[in-house]
Amino acid sequence: MSISQIEEKAREKMKKSVDAVRNEVVRIRTGKATTALVDGLKVACYGSKVPLKQIANIGVPEARLLLIQPWDKNLLPDIEKAIFQSDLGLTPNNDGKVIRLPIPPLTEERRKELVKLVKKLGEEGKIAMRNVRRECNDEIKKGEKAGNFSKDDSQRAMKDIQETTDKYIEMIDMVIAEKEKEIMEI
Residues 6+ apart with CB under 8 A from 149: 3, 140, 143, 157
**Right CATH number for 3-27+107-185 from 2.130.10.10, 1.10.132.20, 3.40.50.300, 1.10.340.30?**
1.10.132.20
Each residue of 54-103: pLDDT tens digit?
Answer: 888 999 888 888 899 998 888 888 888 888 888 777 888 888 889 998 88
Q: Does domain 35-102 have CATH number 3.30.1360.40?
A: yes
Phi, psi of 2 (to 5 degrees): -80, 165
Angle at 116 between CA 92 and CA 62, to 5 degrees: 35
* CA dist., res. 122 & res. 181, Å (int): 14
What pLDDT score does 52 carry?
85
Long-range CB contact pairs, 19-26, < 8 A, 24+:
20/125, 20/128, 21/121, 21/122, 21/124, 21/125, 21/172, 21/175, 21/176, 22/175, 24/121, 25/118, 25/121, 25/122, 25/175, 25/176, 25/179
Number of CB atoms found within 10 A of residue 88's CB: 19
Enter the pTM of the model.
0.70
What pLDDT score does 89 carry?
75
Q: Is the pLDDT of residue 129 over 90?
A: yes
What pLDDT score does 121 carry?
92
Angle at 23 between CA 21 and CA 27, to 5 degrees: 115
What pLDDT score does 109 carry?
85
Q: Residue 142: enclosing H or E segment and its boundaries?
A: helix 108-145
Domain segments of the chain as ranges: 3-27+107-185, 35-102
Residues 6+ apart with CB under 8 A from 19: none
Residue 24 near residue 69, CB atoms below 8 Å: no
More confident residue, 63 or 140: 140
Residue 99 near residue 80, CB atoms below 8 Å: yes
Q: Is the pLDDT of residue 126 over 80?
A: yes
Name the CA radius of gyration of the chain, rounded: 22
Average pLDDT of the chain is 88
For residues 131-149, give the mean pLDDT.
92
What pLDDT score does 32 carry?
77
